[in-house]
Structure 1
Amino acid sequence: MSETVRMVCPVGRKHVELWAGYALVVLGVVVVAIDPGHWAHITLGLLLALGGVGLAAHGHMIKAPVLEVSDGEFRYQRGRYIVRVPFHDIGSYYVLPGRIRSLGLCDSTGRPKRFPSLQSRRAARTYLPLTGMTSPAKVESFMAVAGIPPRKRSLTS
């Protein structure tokens, strides 16, 4: 496969933190603009604006998981954590249900592949975490475009 296929998982918490942070900054400016001569309005406006800046900064730091297939390689990236798997080593995939969706990859014999842990929490895991807003149908269409069959329709089973 010479073409790049890419999917960025939506992160709802990031959008909420960004919008709430920007709203608090605006609210802080409005509170100060109402009565700029009174110390209570200035203090409240400053605290609201600082809280909004902190919330928006934290929202910008949240990294969304990215799935990508290019140049014969499957790549999963979430911040500094990167997993690269040669495309020919992937036999099938499965999506784990639950509050936070996860993607599992299987080798050509149908056994789940193991990946190093995220942020050194476990020794290894058999899935790659996505986000709760990631639709299983969207993951299935991405994998179909990439040419990876689902586990239930794998050639080996």
Structure 2
Amino acid sequence: MADSTLWWLAAGALVALELVTGTFYLLMMALGLAAAAVSAHLGLALTGQWVTAALAGGGSVLIWRLLKKSQPAAAPANANHDVNLDIGETVQVDSFHADGSCSVIYRGARWDATLAPGEATTPGRYTIVEVVGSRLILKTTRTSTSGA
């Protein structure tokens, strides 16, 4: 069997293994084996084929790692694995119902809201700390005072 055929079979085996495992580095190594197969077709000696496989496969792995390191890190997800842009926004509470809940106007619509545990039912500005279904959970907005 020709050297090039062995290189092609080995490259195909690595591609199949990569499909099963999802390891992108195996694909880079298969690229090196394919380069060795091409060098065998070009009549390079067996030693040259091995050097070609090592340089092409190892070089592509190194280049891939450098590219991965140059990419910015992914933004961390919150505990619920979603992004809720409402958290941190402020609303004005004018009055509370007898059960401690309230209604607020937020984003042009009326929302039901309740206070986080330990909060006093005092009208004023509140910060959205959680959204449960369609209900806002609020905490008192803290304002900093400077001693001038």
TM-score by length of 1: 0.27
Higher alpha-carbon Rg: 2
